[in-house]
Amino acid sequence: MREGYTSRTRMTTNHFAEQMGCLAREVIASYEARVSSVEQIIEATHEMLETSRNQREAMRGQLRETLSRAASLRKRDFDGMMQGILARQEARERAVKEAMRGYLTEQRALAEALKEALTGGEAEQIGAIKGLLERIAARREAREREVKTLLAEFQSKQKVMVQALGGLLSNGGSVRVKEFKATLMAIQSQHWSKRAEGDKGSSLKCKEEP
């Protein structure tokens, strides 16, 4: 009688262990697929950022040559006038890249932690694993919000810059320094966050025409 009870207990324990092992493999595979998806998103985002950078540089170069030729604006003066706006957008670009690298690194670390937590399979581990999964989900959501916010800000400011500079270039060779300065001020008014209002004047201070 006792031997039969022991045998049934052993079978129940083995069955539970098999179920836990199956669950562990499914959870790990699902999370690894998510990490792979994050890697693909980051790669696509980096390509988008590179495209945006090339677009800015192309427009900057074209406008620089146009103002030098048609309005006799010295190239070093042009560079100084553009510096603040470009630096701010480049800082946003770096922030997006750093946030996404941090997000991926964190997701990989959490995947490893999940693997370790699921290695066992004892009944008392269930509560701990459930808590870990909840923390992982909460942290992932927070990171995703951070990245989306930074990326949306970058794209919004990039759009403002491209539209404004594109408007100047659409005039062909008739761009005047006065129009360029007015455009910089318009970009500046939308580009700078409230926390930067104190020092934006010095960063984008335009030189007077000779």
Distances (CA, A) of 31 to 35, 41, 187: 6, 15, 42
Question: SS3 for 205?
Answer: coil
Neighbour tally for 38: CB within 10 Å: 20
What are the sequence ranges of the domains in the chain?
A: 2-203
Neighbour tally for 46: CB within 10 Å: 15
Identify whether the C-beta of residue 84 lies closer than 8 Å to the C-beta of residue 203: yes
Q: Cα(193)–Cα(154) distance, rounded to whole angstroms?
A: 12
User: In this predicted structure, what is the pLDDT of residue 98?
Assistant: 93
Global model pTM greater than 0.85: no
Neighbour tally for 198: CB within 10 Å: 9
Burial 116-133 (b: 16+ CB within 10 A, else e): ebbeebeeebeeebeebb
Task: Give CA angle at 9 (127, 19), nearest 5°.
Answer: 45
User: In this predicted structure, what is the pLDDT of residue 135?
Assistant: 81
Query: pLDDT in tens for each of the 210 residues of the chain?
Result: 545 445 555 545 555 556 666 766 777 777 788 888 888 989 999 999 999 999 999 999 999 999 998 888 999 999 999 999 999 999 999 999 999 999 889 888 888 877 777 765 554 566 677 777 788 888 888 888 999 999 999 999 999 999 999 998 887 667 889 999 999 999 988 866 544 444 444 333 333 333
